[in-house]
Amino acid sequence: MTSSDLLFDSRPGANPDRSRLRNRKAVLGQINSAGQMGRAAIARSLGLSTQAVSNIIADLEAEGLLIERGAQSAGRGLPAVQYAVNPEGGFALGVEIRPDVLLTSLVDLGGRPRATRRKVLTDLAPDKIVNQVLQLRDQMLRECGVKPDRLLGAGIVMPGPFGATGLSGQASDLPGWQTIDVPALFSEALERAVVVSNDANAAAMAERFGAAQGLTDYAFLYFGAGLGLGLVHHGQLVEGTFGNAGEIGNLPVMTKHGLKPLEQMVSRVSAQSALAAHGPLDIDALDRLCDVADPDLMRWLETACDALGQALGVIENLFDPQTVILGGAMPALILDHLAQGTPLPKLSVSNRPDATLPRLQCGTSGRMTATFGAAALILNRAFTTQTTAL
């Protein structure tokens, strides 16, 4: 069994092969979310015998997916030999296709980005983009000295919503891609497992190696051009029937000027238009304005926080998440302001006197979070078993 076999295969029926695969993922996932662990502790947490875990660890270590971390004494008894995920054990390619630009990343098994590329797009034709991706993949693999066979797969992020919906036909759509079988296209070209999702979902997955490490139920509010929501339930994305769950941009919120769509109050575009007097502003310009506490920006922040608070109430009451994470293509300073300044709704199931996690917090992977998240979609496949229920 090679490491790329770790991905996919999730038919409902269990047989020795698939059980083995499942257990390997469970062991890796457990170690990943705990940082490091010993055989016996893993066995207990998974409900397996230590012998079984021992065998699996031997395999995973031989394949380079795990590394020994020495023994750690914890009270009476023989100290347990600790194992951790070997970041060098595998890599995932992250691809984010936007109407204007192609972003790629190479992320290691530890969730750390090792290389990134940014390429302005002039031709959106699928085969052109596939070729660019192949080139960028090779560049990044070479740059990092990674052997191609260590590449587990690729995650592709594309603008949603997918298919013909009441929200389609927006500026974010990629012309010429509507009728394409995207997973097949990339999977054939890359000869690897491929997962496709939207930016908010990918960003949510990226946080499994950041703010959401060890969490199983959380939401991610993603700032792209607009605003998207990524939902994680039991460690898996809630993508919806057609992959369009989390379209929160049109959520109506109350403002001084009546009801407005959320993303008209809370998004990069909304900030930019509130600051139109300053001329065209990119993210860095916004960052500088925030740094000097520009009054126009502060006013926008106030209205944004208010709107965000309303959205937070809806998200919390509908999902009851462990936490809600903010991130995306916004200056970290502004995200901080939002996370700190947003009024936490009182009428919420998350308004608990005994809460241990913050109800709203910032993500850890910065502006490229969706591009890294694209890769995290694949990494998640190595750490968990997908469940095709019913």
Considering only residues 330 to 369 of the shown chain, the ones binding a copy of itself according to CB under 8 A are: 345-354
Interaction between residue 58 and a copy of itself (CB under 8 A): no
What minimum distance in Å lies between the beta carbon of 58 and DNA? Answer: 7
Interaction between residue 12 and a copy of itself (CB under 8 A): yes
- Give me the sheet containing 360-362, strands edge to edge: 236-237, 227-233, 218-223, 323-328, 360-362
User: Using CB under 7 A, which residues numbered 61 to 90 contact DNA?
Assistant: 71, 73-81
The entry of a copy of itself, DNA, none near residue 125 (CB within 5 to 8 angstroms by kind) is none
User: Using CB under 7 A, which residues numbered 27 to 66 contact DNA?
Assistant: 38-41, 47-52, 54-56
Alpha-carbon distance 206 to 198, whole Å?
A: 13
Q: Which two tokens stand for residue 289?
A: 């304005």
Element (H, E) at 36: strand 36-38
Alpha-carbon distance 259 to 307, whole Å?
A: 10
- Taking alpha carbons only, the member of 336, 305, 111 closest to residue 212 is 111
Looking at 23-31, 70-78, 195-203, 278-286, which segment touches a copy of itself (CB under 8 A)?
23-31
Alpha-carbon distance 306 to 344, whole Å?
A: 10
Interaction between residue 171 and a copy of itself (CB under 8 A): no
Helix/strand/coil for 317: helix
Interaction between residue 257 and a copy of itself (CB under 8 A): no
The entry of a copy of itself, DNA, none near residue 336 (CB within 5 to 8 angstroms by kind) is none
Among 13, 258, 279, 295, binds DNA (CB under 7 A): 13
To 10 degrees, what angle do helices 283-291 and 332-341 make?
60
The entry of a copy of itself, DNA, none near residue 75 (CB within 5 to 8 angstroms by kind) is DNA
User: Are 93 and 106 spatial neighbours (Cβ–Cβ below 8 Å)?
Assistant: yes
**Residues contacting 23, CB < 8 A, separation 6+:** 46, 48, 52, 56
Interaction between residue 147 and DNA (CB under 7 A): no
The entry of a copy of itself, DNA, none near residue 304 (CB within 5 to 8 angstroms by kind) is none
Query: Based on CB atoms, which residue is closest to a copy of itself, 159 or 345?
Result: 345
Note the residues at the interface with DNA (CB under 7 A). 1, 13-17, 19-20, 23, 38-41, 47-52, 54-56, 71, 73-81
